[in-house]
Amino acid sequence: MRQYSLLVADNRSDYRHSLRILLDLEGYLVQEADSVEQALEQLKTSRPDLVLVDLRLTMDENEYDISGLVVAQRAADMRVPCIVITAFPSVETTRQALRSRGIEPLAADYVPKGNGPQAVLDAIVAVLGHPPAADLEIDLERRLARYKGESLDLSQQQYDLLAYLYAQDERVCRPAELLEAVYGENVPDGQASADKRLERLVERLRIKIEEDPSNPRHLIKEPRRGYRLVM
């Protein structure tokens, strides 16, 4: 079974940290964002399965702040479900506030922070259900890779790239590191970032392991850092 990836966007580091501990224990893959801008960037580069966003993402003390809905809007545009976490006194109060602005449909659910962590878990399960079976499978011992149950016909370099990234357990790998792993070449970082061989290899591999290669969910590029494989 694959793990669901969640994006937690909240400007309070203590709340994000406590929620992440809980979600990690439940088996979710968690990313964090502390601002609207950071959340939008994470959405663009990682495309999570679900977004948990604080309604007052910019200023907790400002009762008119609904900046979290900028993130919810972007998630809706990408067809990524969103749960709004709110410090409003009640869910109904939140809905009334949102209806007055005509933007309630952006969220699949609303969870008051005062309801505790179990309410967040219940909302996640209600929206996502149980994780589907993994569509990408890799067996390093037998040097096999499957996508949706079908064996993949990979070139040696495509397999080497896929296997190396898989062994890193979703760690971001620098281009220089990947060029050495695939081609056995020690290339300086600056030169590696401009090396078109890796870029073309990633493009060809995405065609074989992604439902939509232009919006990858497995082979992810982290801007100015490198690549990682999300299972």
Q: Where are the beta strands (DSSP E) in the chain?
A: 5-9, 29-33, 50-54, 82-86, 109-112, 136-139, 144-147, 150-151, 219-222, 226-229
pLDDT digits over 80-107, tens only?
999 988 876 656 666 665 665 565 567 7
d(CA 48, CA 43) in angstroms, rounded, equals 7
- Please report the pLDDT score of residue 104 as a whole number: 56
Domains (ranges, CATH) in the chain? 5-128 (3.40.50.2300), 136-229 (1.10.10.10)
Q: Evaluate if pTM is beyond 0.75.
A: no
Band of pLDDT at residue 1, cut at 50, 70 and 90: very low
pLDDT digits over 55-70, tens only?
889 987 787 788 898 9
Least confident of 2-6, 94-98, 138-142: 94-98
Average pLDDT over residues 211-216: 92
Contacts of 223 (CB under 8 A, 6+ apart): 45
Contacts of 188 (CB under 8 A, 6+ apart): 176
